[in-house]
A and B are shown apart, each in its own frame.
Chain A
Amino acid sequence: MNRKSFLLGALALTLAGPALAQTMAPSVDQPVTITFYNYNLGSAGIGAEATKKLLNEFMAEHPNITVEGVPYSSADGSRIQADLAAGLPVDMVQTVFSDLDFAVHNWGAKALEDIAPADEMAAHFEGMSPNGLKLGVLDGKTYGLAYTFSTPILFYNADLFRQAGLDPDSPPKTWAAVKDAAIAIKEKTGKEGFAAGITGPSAADWLFQGVVRSNGGEVISRDRKTLKFGEPEAIEAVAMLRDLHDAGVYENLDISGAMEGMAAGNVGMYLQTSAVQGVLVAGAKDKFDLRASTMPSFGEKPVRPNNSGSALTIHTADPVKQRAAWELMKFLTSKHGYTIITSEIGYLPLRTDIVDDPQYLGDWVKSHPLVQPNLEQLAVLEPWDPMPGPNYRQIVKTMMDAVEMSVFGGADVAATMADAQANAQALMP
């Protein structure tokens, strides 16, 4: 079995050998089936319907290509790994950005520069946000195209703002202002001042990375060798969150608790991915005035948010399948694709030029003003750094456990973060 797959691999390598750059076939002339591992398909929500719709449209346009959607859970990649280990074809994946390093080094994600003709890439990237394109770049190569992604948004309840004597037309822009507003809301209305999806079992580290970066720090060095979340800038950022908790305005609610609290009108401000917008809008309808602002900054320092969400990655080594996957990738990240993704799943368009175009998102954006801060942040968006090596998830967990203990658990912030950094550094490759 092993020898057979080795021989097959060697054969594929020799076949691919002569054309080392751009291995994919020029076109798909015979029927081909590709698998697409997609976590939206695994959820019962609207994401699955919109995804199926896009896949069906694609197959109608490309009669030779059959796309087999495989649902998987983004919480752990074990389905993908198990299928790869079993020798099943994993051709294209909707990869969470924090898994990107692992996907490249273990799941054989291919750099687009290595498989796709340069002119086709250039033509397709036309009109895409340069910051958005950078999100899927690792070690200088484009491994993924941002697919369903979003930015951190400060949702706020304008009614609670009014009751607390705050001006809902000038939402807090800095963390200091967030604290003042939260205290006012807590004192005047008795509701929760502030909630955030920074910590918690399913939060991962995307929001935390943006908070640290906005304070001039980073969780991992640019050469991706040294962890830095125990350094002064990061500690200061964690201490700021701790201060919010100590002031009594930032409780350790779990993800669904915070989201439902905000949707029910019991929370003043809520920092979370724009992807939850649909739930909040549904909860606020006819009950309270839901508004949105950009992520808060540390004083005068610039806000440096990063994205959450996923990229599309191509994993197949077969030239014809690569072509089929590339066509699917182009379709899903086309103007039409992003229109569906933004308006029906609730993410962001990587193509900013469709936002004002009435043929695409123009009317939708006008009737959905909450998406505006998201679009503003697209201009300053930075990549969500994936942790390297086989223990990357353990690194993220060690870091986020320390953050939670520091903010909510009463632990000494500097010592806890430094300790966790030392522990996690030992897990780096």
Chain B
Amino acid sequence: MTIASAAPPRLRRMTQSRWAPWLYLSPALITLVVWIYWPLVDAVRLSFYQWNMLPNSPQLFVGWDNYQRIFALPKFWQALRNTGVYIAGLLPLAVLIPLAIAIYTHDLPARSRNVYRAIIFVPMIIAPVVAAAVWRWLLDPGYGLANQAIKGVGLEPVKFLSDPKVAIWTVILITGWKLMGFSTLILAAANANINPSLIEAARMDGASKWEVIRDVRLPLLSSTVLFLVVMTILLGAQWSFTYINVLTGGGPLGSTTNIYYLLWDFGFSTMSVGWGSAAAVILFLGFGALAFVLFRLIDRYSFHDN
């Protein structure tokens, strides 16, 4: 303090004006650099090394080896296809059904609406591993409740988790069941935010209930819907990770493996940081490109009230 006050007033003001903004910004900037940019740059660097994260073992430069090995994995392309299936399967569950629920429940009396939405939202707050364990009991081919019911009506029990053709849809349904509450919440909030005078005006013009939804609500909800679509495409396969890990371990015959699970499986089971980083860089670039396209689409197609 004494040094500062001893300095000529003019100089101090100049220094302040030059450095003060950076000083104020520095906590945020430092956090950003330390937690986001530096790890990103370091991941790119490490993706060219073979190292197991032990301080006493050397980092071995291996060039493009890690990338080549990932692309040479026989399961890589299967996992990529499965990722597409996951996204396609999750879209109706994470967007369409919640949209219908949000619009439908909007007109219910406040009390029953809240009860209903709470029921829909409950799966969201159950811990994923617990949910997975409960689903495993329900779906067990021998004594599970689902198969008891199927056997009850005289049908063959379904191997929900061990039939390669069925397992991926089982995981998709469980993931979707878990997500539905979240999407419903977001859409219901957006729906409630629609200016009532617009609806009122449409009604006065003689619009039917369906016409109000089609011409007023849906266009005004479009940016939220597109946001959820983008979230599902970018993160959908990731949300199923817990269920894959607990319920199927990627099997049977790799039928439920998706790109996140595969790369985690190969990259992290030995803490091989090179594989893991290369996998992360591939995902970053791939989904980064996808996100770029999707956000351009959002800008183009979403409709704003004002």
A84 to B142, CA, bound (A): 43
Q: Are A408 and B74 in contact (CB under 8 A)?
A: no
A165 within 8 A of B: no
Q: Which residues of B contact A202 (CB under 8 A)?
A: 249
Set A85, A108, A266, A391: member contacting B270, Cβ < 8 A: A391
Which of B194-202, B225-233, B261-269 contacts its partner?
B261-269
Q: Give a binary string over A93-120; 1 marks a CB under 8 Å from any B CB, 0 the rest.
A: 0000000001000111000000000000
B244-286 contacts to A (CB < 8 Å): 248-254, 265-266, 268-272, 275
Q: Are A390 and B142 in contact (CB under 8 A)?
A: no
Instruction: Give the size category of A's interface with B.
Output: 35 or more
Set B55, B142, B164, B269: member contacting A76, Cβ < 8 A: B269
Q: Are B271 and A426 in contact (CB under 8 A)?
A: no
Which of A140-148, A180-188, A254-262, A271-279 contacts its partner?
A254-262
B291 to chain A, nearest CB (A): 29
Q: Are B162 and A257 in contact (CB under 8 A)?
A: yes
Q: Are B271 and A261 in contact (CB under 8 A)?
A: no
Q: Are B251 and A201 in contact (CB under 8 A)?
A: yes
Q: Are B270 and A392 in contact (CB under 8 A)?
A: yes
Q: Are B251 and A200 in contact (CB under 8 A)?
A: yes
Q: Which residues of B contact A264 (CB under 8 A)?
A: 142
Instruction: Find the residue from A76, A419, A420 having the highest chain B CB count within 10 A.
Output: A76
A26 within 8 A of B: no
Given A252-B252, A253-B162, 7 other A-B residues pairs in contact with their CB atoms under 8 A = A78-B268, A106-B52, A106-B57, A108-B56, A260-B142, A394-B266, A401-B74
Q: Give a binary string over B70-91; 1 marks a CB under 8 Å from any A CB, 0 the rest.
A: 0011110000000000000000
A397 within 8 A of B: yes
Where chain B touches its partner, the secondary structure class is: loop
Set B53, B69, B252: member contacting A85, Cβ < 8 A: B53
Q: Which residues of B contact A394 (CB under 8 A)?
A: 266, 269-270, 272, 275
Chain B minimum-CB-distance residue to A84: B54
A372 within 8 A of B: no
A263 to B142, CA, bound (A): 12
Q: Which residues of B contact A5 (CB under 8 A)?
A: 55-56
Given contact pairs A201-B251, A408-B253, A401 touches B54 in the complex (Cβ within 8 A): no
A419 to B269, CA, bound (A): 23
Chain B minimum-CB-distance residue to A409: B253
Instruction: Find the residue from A391, A408, A419 having the highest chain B CB count within 10 A.
Output: A391
Chain B minimum-CB-distance residue to A410: B253
A367 within 8 A of B: no
B161 within 8 A of A: yes
A247-304 contacts to B (CB < 8 Å): 252-254, 257, 260-261, 264, 266
A266 to chain B, nearest CB (A): 7
B92 within 8 A of A: no
Chain A minimum-CB-distance residue to B265: A397
Chain A minimum-CB-distance residue to B53: A85
Q: Which residues of A contact B271 (CB under 8 A)?
A: 77-78, 81-82
Sample 14 A-B pairs with CB under 8 A, ordered by A number.
A76-B268, A78-B271, A81-B52, A87-B55, A200-B249, A201-B250, A252-B253, A254-B161, A254-B251, A390-B272, A394-B269, A394-B272, A398-B74, A402-B74
Q: Are B269 and A393 in contact (CB under 8 A)?
A: yes
A48 within 8 A of B: no
Given contact pairs A201-B249, A393-B269, A419-B74, A2 touches B69 in the complex (Cβ within 8 A): no
A128 to chain B, nearest CB (A): 31
A90 to chain B, nearest CB (A): 11
A161 to B164, CA, bound (A): 30
B191 within 8 A of A: no
Q: Are B142 and A420 in contact (CB under 8 A)?
A: no
Given contact pairs A76-B269, A78-B271, A408-B252, A106 touches B141 in the complex (Cβ within 8 A): no
A426 to B70, CA, bound (A): 12
A391 to B278, CA, bound (A): 14
Q: Which residues of A contact B302 (CB under 8 A)?
A: none
B223 within 8 A of A: no
Given contact pairs A87-B55, A390-B272, A391-B270, A420 touches B74 in the complex (Cβ within 8 A): yes
Q: Which residues of B contact A401 (CB under 8 A)?
A: 74-75, 254
Top 5 A-B pairs, shortest CB-CB distance: A201-B249, A409-B253, A393-B269, A81-B271, A393-B270
Q: Which residues of B contact A423 (CB under 8 A)?
A: 72-74
A415 to chain B, nearest CB (A): 12
Chain A minimum-CB-distance residue to B249: A201
A107 to B271, CA, bound (A): 13
B50 within 8 A of A: yes
Q: Give a binary string over A7-39; 1 marks a CB under 8 Å from any B CB, 0 the rest.
A: 001000000000000000000000000000000
B215-248 contacts to A (CB < 8 Å): 248
Q: Are B250 and A85 in contact (CB under 8 A)?
A: no
Q: Which residues of A contact B254 (CB under 8 A)?
A: 401, 405
A391 to B53, CA, bound (A): 13
Set B161, B162, B250, B270: member contacting A77, Cβ < 8 A: B270
A321 to B10, CA, bound (A): 66
A240 within 8 A of B: no
A404 to B141, CA, bound (A): 21
Set B69, B162, B272, B275: member contacting A426, Cβ < 8 A: B69
Given contact pairs A394-B266, A397-B265, A405 touches B253 in the complex (Cβ within 8 A): yes
B134 to chain A, nearest CB (A): 15
A393 to B268, CA, bound (A): 10
Q: Are B269 and A85 in contact (CB under 8 A)?
A: no
